[in-house]
Structure 1
Amino acid sequence: MGKGSNVQKAQAARERNQKKMGKSDEERKAAQAKSKADAAAFMCLACRQTFMANARPPLLYQHVIAKHPAGTDPASCFPQLKDFDPNDPKGEKKPPAGGAGGPVKPKKTNKKKDDNLDALLDAGLGGNKKKGGKK
């Protein structure tokens, strides 16, 4: 009667389409291995929970605070948190590399923009006098 089930036909069609796309079995296996490695890039040494490669130190620190007993050293869970400062999660207060110590200067704000805005507001608030009087 038939020459195979729908499952067999679908599998054959899938293999044909993959050959057309140009991806070999080795390429697919390599891509799968890379995605697995990225998914488990960071692992908590205490509870073995994994984090993706794009996890930042504040997220890892939050895990230590939320999941482990108080007083747990963050570096004991994640070696990447050795120099992490929870009061400065973005690392802005850290002295620049190269030994140039000293305080980091804050960025200058653009005051011209604020002055122009104030001038426009002052010009618009000059008074509520009407040009034409009532008759």
Structure 2
Amino acid sequence: MGKGSNVQKATAARERNQKKMGKSDEERKAASAKAAKDAAAKKCLLCLQTFMVNVKAPQLLLHITAKHPDLTDYTQCFPELAGYDPNDPKGEKAEAAAKAAAQKKAAKAKKAGGPDLDSLLDAGLKKGKK
């Protein structure tokens, strides 16, 4: 029983010392490389200014309006802004329009004599057994 307790004490001391030492050189290099990659994740194609990986579309739009005021196509600076509407930043209007179109299609199919198979499948219904 005496040997077991010494082994446990040595293991606990070794773990404590590793925590005090911090990261290894490889871990530091990997973290540094990841931070550098994240810092330059998005780049303006006109002025080559870099932005962090977590920058939102409204901030990119603010850059465009401040630095490139004569520009009308946002994708010339940032291709990831394709389809972005500054009047609808969260996409709620587009989502509501798509939902309304789906409801209109379902109403039209109902008037035509029942729903067609595509509208049923779009609604989440599965094909039954044959």
| TM-score (norm: length of structure 2) | 0.57
Task: State the shift of 1:18 in Å.
Answer: 8.4
Q: Please list the CA deviations of residues 7-50 of structure 1 after superposition, one character each: whole Å capped at 9, or x if unmatched.
A: xxxxxxxxxx9884242111100000001111111000000001
The residue number in structure 1 matching 2:93 is 93
Q: How do 1:1-135 and structure 2 match up within 5 A?
A: 20-95=20-95, 101-103=98-100
| TM-score (norm: length of structure 1) | 0.55
Over alpha carbons, which structure has the higher Rg? 1
Three-state SS of the structure 2 residue aligned to 1:28 is helix
Against the structure 1 CA distance between its residues 27 and 66, is the aligned structure 2 distance closer, same or farther, given a 3 Å change threshold? Answer: same
List alignment gaps of at least 5 residues for structure 2: 1-16, 102-130
The residue number in structure 2 matching 1:10 is none
- Could you tell me the percent identity over the aligned residues? 61
Three-state SS of the structure 2 residue aligned to 1:64 is helix
Structure whose residues are more often helix by fraction:
2
8 Å Cα contact 2:64-2:71 kept in structure 1:
no
8 Å Cα contact 1:64-1:72 kept in structure 2:
no
Three-state SS of the structure 2 residue aligned to 1:54 is coil
Against the structure 1 CA distance between its residues 20 and 76, is the aligned structure 2 distance closer, same or farther, given a 3 Å change threshold? Answer: same
